[in-house]
Structure 1
Amino acid sequence: MALVLDRYPDITYDAAPSQIDDPEELRLLRQWEVAIGYRIFAALRWGQIGDGHITARDPILTDHFWVLGYGIRFGDATVESLTLVGPNGQGVAGPVGNGVNFAAYHIHWPILDARPDVVSAAHTHTPFGTAWSANVAPFRAISQESCGFVFDQALYEGENLEISDVGGGEAIARAMGNSRVCILRNHGLLTAGRSPAEAVGWFVAAERVAEVHVKAPDARAVSEEAAKEVEASLYTADMGWRMFQWLARDLVPDPSVVLT
């Protein structure tokens, strides 16, 4: 099936991510999802002071990743505005004139290196994710969305809020393990996914979970049994990707804008 990126696929009950065999097409799909993801963040008023990053492992140069070129506004993200970063932290393709987002390299490269199951990671400083992370506590089963994370989350307790080298990222990767979300102490949220779409979908869902935690500090959690029932019925393998589909249609109605 030919890759179509100027419109979104239909959302049906059995919709699933496209299976792309051609590595060049897969590269383009990942770039497209990263660019759409940045625009979703921008529409939610995240990253306005340059904080945050969405990355995607390159399917050809698998120890390289794509990230928005430094100094480019999230709302202006396009496929052509992404920089390919090598394992040494140097930009090798795309816009490199302003340098590389080293925070993205220090955090994301160790995660992608440690987890072959992961294609993408997402992180930015959000009103509720950052606030909740200051409690240095995991999510509890206090809302429907929370049940998607309570059995699949990690907590990084390091006080190094400025991740200034790959050692800091390696520590985060160890703490995160195989989880889909990691709460970074006093820093915010970090998600990982099998695609940029999945990582972004999980991130927005996690921010909404954090909002419930902040706004309902004395909330009463449901039982573990009830939480597991919700997770099993709602949080299927492709749920992060599905969340991205809804977000993208609402916040980036014309996906062709990232192709210009």
Structure 2
Amino acid sequence: MFLPTSSLRNAIRAFNSTTKLTQGNFPCTTNIVASPFASIQRGKTRTIMPTFPSVEEERVYRKEHLALVFRILHRFGFAEGVAGHCSVRDPVQPDTFWVNPQGKSFARMRQSDLIQCHVENGDIINGELPVDASATSIHSQMYKAAGRGKGQKGGSDGGVESLVHVHSPYTKAFSALNRTLDMISQDACAFYNQQALVPFAGGVFDNQEGARIASFIGPQHKVAILQNHGLLSVGRLSIDEAAWWQINFEMCAKTQILADSALRSGEIFVFANEQNILDTREEIGSPEMGWFCLAAYVEEEEWHSKGEHKL
């Protein structure tokens, strides 16, 4: 379940003793100090992360949000043929994960379409439809190498609970430049020193290549720039978080390319100073903030879905 660090456990206890409200698709509390967003919000209430009475209910939440993530990514124009795969670790059987079948429309994804695979080797253990070999290879080896994510039993802040990989246009172009984002915007600060560069080695069809990619991604990284390919984003806490880093990086890559193209001869960029970058990353770059940044898109997509993603 989410948020089990000692300070957040105390916050949850406090939260459970106060009034619980619903704002869109996420809970709020009148207990200001119970929220990880206490310092960045104002008013009588604060947003708080979801908690679950059982891992079975958390499984339902994770699968439904994974289905919504595909629909959101489609709405952003990130679906490209049969390319792209996103997954979330199963909280009931954490040595397994749920991923999309290859060829299923992102726009029509339902939680029942998802395929359950084993972390150890990527083998399918639940589902009849085929899965992209690059998905089973990359995702299984990432989950295996990193271990369980933030707040999980036996997990760590550097563990992995979800992964997102799509072929978005600006990120795909940026991946050919052999560099990371410059700190030219507030949004880019969220990725400061948290971007891995992974050299291209052709298509991914086996676990050996998946393990090679995983070896470049450390516990501090939010994203891996797969050179000449695209982006792999990491959720240490939730699938919502991983999806937001993917979307946000695409926005930053677009900004970077536009800024690069507008730079005149002799000009240089205005960069933020390092302390301001670090402070900004602390404010907008946490796993909790990654989850929350997707919330508005989740609400919109739930409205569009009319419950179909839950089927």
Q: Paired residue for 1:70?
A: 102
Residue 202, structure 1, aligned to residue 234, structure 2: no
Q: Deviations over 1:15-70 (max 9, x none)?
A: 23212241211111110111000000111111231211110111122221101122
CA contact (8 A) 2:71 2:109 kept: yes
What are the equivalent positions in structure 2 for 1:1-260 lying under 5 Å apart? 8-10=25-27, 13=41, 14-86=46-118, 87-94=120-127, 96-97=128-129, 99-116=130-147, 117=149, 118-157=160-199, 159-178=200-219, 179-193=221-235, 194-217=237-260, 218=263, 219-254=269-304, 256-260=307-311
Structure 1's consecutive aligned runs of 4 or more residues displaced over 4 angstroms after TM superposition are none
Q: Identify unmatched segments of 5+ residues in structure 1.
A: 2-6
Tell me the TM-score normalized by structure 1.
Answer: 0.90
Q: Identify unmatched segments of 5+ residues in structure 2.
A: 1-15, 17-23, 30-40, 150-159, 264-268
1:249 is displaced (CA, Å) by 2.4
Change (3 A) 1:11 1:52: farther
CA contact (8 A) 2:100 2:131 kept: no
Tell me how many residue pairs correspond in the alignment: 252
Tell me the TM-score normalized by structure 2.
Answer: 0.76
Larger Rg: 2
Letter in 2 for 1:206: F
Which stretch of structure 1 is more off in the superposition, 117-126 or 226-235?
Answer: 226-235
- Secondary structure of the 1:32 match is helix
CA contact (8 A) 2:192 2:281 kept: no
- Partners of 1:40 and 1:183 lie apart in 2 by 21
Where relative contact order (Cα < 8 A, 6+ residues apart) is larger, the structure is 1
CA contact (8 A) 1:153 1:182 kept: yes
- Partners of 2:285 and 2:272 lie apart in 1 by 17
1:233 is displaced (CA, Å) by 3.0
Q: Paired residue for 2:37?
A: none
Q: Paired residue for 1:4?
A: none
- Partners of 2:98 and 2:176 lie apart in 1 by 30
